Structure 1
Amino acid sequence: MIRAALLMILLGGAASAQAVCSEDVVSIRGDFGQARFKVSIADDPAERAQGLMNVQSMPMMEGMLFVYERPQSPQFWMRNTLIPLDMLFVTPDGTITRIHKQAIPLDETPIPGGDGVQMVLEVNGGMADRLGIAVGDQMQHPSFNEDAVWPCE
């Protein structure tokens, strides 16, 4: 009940989740329903290296989307990252294949994303569980090509 009410408040109703794609928004859909995150894009080596380092807080429905030129096996760490994060690892077609929950601030232990990952969405730690986001859910963003499981309209 509380989660459903939270989702309705966060999404502003189901219609807003159907909005046209834009560079600063990532949409996710799955058995839980749909959610939208306002994102900053990290799509070059310098931006990806910086990531969310030294960020002291982040609004609830915001995050950072790491975009790679081609599928790969990325590894992350939390060096100089001050807030816990959930990391959603995504294939080129927009399918979430792995979720690393509650990455520990300042921990330098490598966090592997698995093979074939082209995008990684970092959101506040605990957000995946709070919303019910799971492996197999689908992501929508203009960075996905025409083969996306949930293409932009």
Structure 2
Amino acid sequence: MTLLHALRHLAIGLVAASAATFSLAQTGPQKLPSVPLSVGIYRINAEVAQTPDERQIGLMFRTAMADTEGMLFVFEDASQQCFWMKNTLIPLAIAFIGDDGTIVNLDRMKPQTLDSHCSTKPVRFVLEMNDGWFDKRGIKPGARLRGAPFGN
């Protein structure tokens, strides 16, 4: 490999590393495509975070979220999923969801904490809503969400 060729590879690598660092150093909220979901009579407009970068940023830096909005995190494989609230400014409720849309467990998360909130079983889907959203509607583990991600 010539020196010029090696320098080109190094430059390409540095550009890729800079792009990756920029995406992780994001300081504002992201806006992602959304999908309609429902649970019982309640409708949800959920942004879908499906890439590692989208999932890592999640709802960070938002100062508010409409009552019918949330974020659905989609993972490639079912496993125990754990979430924290670094750089997340609003209190959230979290639902860990099985492939068929059944809520496995729920939790509440305080803003800007590093406490882990984990699924009690392996799941591929996690839904974040405003704090109290599930409680106010009487939605508990065992309830089933409907929508394209769950095949119904």
- Give the TM bin, normalised by the shorter chain: 0.7 to 0.9
Specify which structure has the higher proportion of helix: 2
Whole-Å separation in 1 of the counterparts to 2:78 and 2:150: 12
> Please, which of 24, 41, 49 is the counterpart of residue 35 of structure 2?
24
TM-score relative to the length of structure 1 = 0.75
Residue 130 of structure 2 corresponds to 124
Identical-residue share of aligned pairs (%): 36
Unmatched tracts of structure 1, length 5 or more:
1-22, 146-150
Whole-Å separation in 2 of the counterparts to 1:119 and 1:28: 15
Give the 5 Å matches for 1:4-43.
24-29=35-40, 34-43=41-50
Unmatched tracts of structure 2, length 5 or more:
1-33
TM-score relative to the length of structure 2 = 0.75
> Please, which of 122, 127, 141 is the counterpart of residue 135 of structure 1?
141
Deviation at 1:115, TM superposition (A): 2.0
Give deviations 1:73-117, integer Å, cap 9, x for gaps: 01000000000000011011111010002x100010111112221
- When the two chains are superposed, the root-mean-square deviation of aligned CA atoms in Å is 1.1
Deviation at 1:141, TM superposition (A): 1.8
| In the alignment, structure 1 residue 106 sits paired with structure 2 residue 112 | yes
**Which structure ranks higher in relative contact order (CA pairs < 8 Å, sequence separation ≥ 6)?**
1
Displacement over 2 Å in runs of 4+: none
Aligned residue-pair number: 119
Q: Which structure: larger Rg?
A: 2
